[in-house]
Structure 1
């Protein structure tokens, strides 16, 4: 078994007297999609933002291939090989598809200001290759403002690939998408994980997506880790059924939409 790309130990974050995250441990390996789920207020976003460097942990450790991330700003964490997509896709609407990717490459290469006038030429071939990987090369010269939302999500994924990430963080990747678009985006992500041998940590409210594409799942409730394991193990876990869905509710809805049992 390969070594963990991401190792989280004793992670904690408090806001005043409230423990938003309370001593959680998990790891994530290359080639693996790990879903982080839980009810509202479970601590998912706080955990996610600590890994990304947007929040600083009060306790514990977050290591990327052995390098401690706590205390490093998001830009430095990005340059270490942590990509991110957001619940609401973030692109420059007035720029073309390929220019959006080139902007990310300029930032990664630390040329954002010194070569602004030559931005249109900056690593154009590689930017087009990234768009090809997400199925958007044919639309490279279109402004992002003209794209359907599902295509904007694909462009955002190409942007996240610009730093050749070892770890990709995806915050509600299928939010606002139709079922067909959701499956297409997650199937593409799964393909990229295998081809690039990278690790993905994602949050998601759509249980059909989680059960169809996650290799493993970790479940939080009130800031604590209550379960982790493969999807079938989580589906049948009594504590998850009680805390995540409430007494008497189950994962049957996920099964009903065609998720493999």
Structure 2
């Protein structure tokens, strides 16, 4: 059985149908890219999986559990993590305190003013930071970090609930080519090491083709193609709709400019 099963997913905003009958599966240990031109419906689809938007119709199941009527917090407790296009950390806290706060939230605990957040879950927070290569900077203020390092801290925070599925919204947005490559190589390693699934949206095609195990392509709210990098690269409908010219994708290394 697939970890994530999406069937006949539909979202309408008044008379505008943003997502129309989308179907796909995602398996543990797989990195799946959700791509498409602007306005394709990928962000809407992504937010329905996360629970930020409620589907008009259709089904989203995680290990057989229906998610479409659950709020984001309950979906997180079932094992769905999330990172955002713009990295969100508490600048006033240290690196490790940010991860401790994520652990506190997952464990439904509230820290008291006489027992600061730094007193909780430090060992587990340090272990998560080690996984993303940030344990040596644990006690630095988050406000002092380079943007690429902030994204690594956010990734550690996204792992705080030990997710079966991690949703990554434009994970490399705003990053330099080397930073993009490093972050996605790390994500790929975590997918394998943790046997978790990752669904990510991304505009940088070099990242998508270098790291995605499979891709699904949306256009005008409908799924028009799915497959491997080579299958998507040579798919005539994708070439026509994605670029509007029929030209082929150029092969790029992960470190190249998008």
In structure 2, distance between residues paired with 1:7 and 1:98: 34
What whole-Å deviation, never above 9, does each CA across 1:203-243 have from its counterpart, x for those lacking one? Answer: 00000000000000000000000000111000000000000
Corresponding residue for 1:21? 19
In structure 2, distance between residues paired with 1:148 and 1:48: 27
Corresponding residue for 2:163? 165
The aligned runs of 1:181-220 (5 Å cut-off) are: 181-220=179-218
- Quote the offset at 1:117 in angstroms: 2.1
Which runs of 5 or more residues in structure 1 are unaligned? none
SS class of match (1:117): coil
Corresponding residue for 2:70? 72
Worse-matched range after superposition: 73-82 or 215-224: 73-82
Corresponding residue for 2:252? 255
SS class of match (1:36): strand
SS class of match (2:115): helix
Which runs of 5 or more residues in structure 2 are unaligned? none
In structure 1, distance between residues paired with 2:113 and 2:74: 20
SS class of match (2:18): strand
Equivalent residues, number: 256
Worse-matched range after superposition: 208-217 or 109-118: 109-118
2:106 aligned with 1:108: yes
In structure 2, distance between residues paired with 1:169 and 1:237: 26
What whole-Å deviation, never above 9, does each CA across 1:96-153 have from its counterpart, x for those lacking one? Answer: 0000000010011111256872421211101000000000000000111000000000
Q: Decide whether aligned partners of structure 1 residues 255 and 139 sit closer, same or farther in structure 2, where only a CA change above 3 A counts.
A: closer
In structure 2, distance between residues paired with 1:250 and 1:40: 18
TM-score (norm 1): 0.95
1:4/1:65 contact within 8 Å kept: yes
2:146 aligned with 1:152: no
In structure 2, distance between residues paired with 1:258 and 1:74: 34
- Quote the offset at 1:194 in angstroms: 0.3
Worse-matched range after superposition: 107-116 or 35-44: 107-116
SS class of match (2:38): coil
SS class of match (1:89): coil
Q: Decide whether aligned partners of structure 1 residues 151 and 257 sit closer, same or farther in structure 2, where only a CA change above 3 A counts.
A: closer
The aligned runs of 1:18-97 (5 Å cut-off) are: 18-97=16-95
Q: Decide whether aligned partners of structure 1 residues 115 and 105 sit closer, same or farther in structure 2, where only a CA change above 3 A counts.
A: farther
1:103/1:112 contact within 8 Å kept: no
The aligned runs of 1:222-241 (5 Å cut-off) are: 222-241=220-239
Corresponding residue for 1:131? 129
- Quote the offset at 1:38 in angstroms: 0.2
